[in-house]
Amino acid sequence: MKALLKIVGGGFALFMVLAIAQEWTFFRTAWFGGDAEVETASDEDVREAVAAVRETLVLMRHLYTSGGDVRFAERLPASDGMVREMLDDIEYLHRTRRVQDLALRSLDVQEATPIDLDQVEVRTRELWEIRTTWLDDGSQSDPPRVAVVHGLYRVRRACAGWRVQSWDRISGPSPGGDDPS
């Protein structure tokens, strides 16, 4: 029994040493109070993350105007949760017999900040023209409107490039009530 405990104890000690070595940055700061040296995304990585935000917003228009065509959903460089959120919104519009055309008129990237090696936060000011029509005859269901949206996008490096993981509307003027100039 003592031999078994020695083997198990030795295996556990070896496992802990290897785990600490592999995650040294974390353990150095958590256990030993060392300064964390966080490696951040390169300038090229930041440009690619911003491009993923732009591509997501452009393809979003096609996804909405197509009524949720999965071919556009599959091409979005966005997380499954974001795509599901858009498809749920499109499904709601469809149930109410409407379709939306979301036209991105301008996109101003106000800030793109690397968080670490695999994450970038992108802040935007977007000008959208939104038209909602009835599916039955194509007539307007709501008056066209212009919305200025201040967005915060969290973009993460993935196997196939950068993907928008989440988005939030940050404080700023309300959609539709903004001066679009």
Phi, psi of 133 (to 5 degrees): -125, 160
Mean pLDDT (the chain, rounded)? 87
* pLDDT tens profile 141-178: 999 999 999 999 999 999 889 999 999 988 654 444 45
CA distances in angstroms from 15 to 19, 22, 28, 120, listed in the order given: 6, 11, 17, 33
Residue-level pLDDT at 31: 64
Residue-level pLDDT at 115: 93
* pLDDT tens profile 94-138: 999 999 999 999 999 999 999 998 999 999 999 999 999 999 999
pTM for the model stands at 0.73
Tell me what percent of the residues of the chain surpass a pLDDT of 90: 68
Contacts of 171 (CB under 8 A, 6+ apart): 150
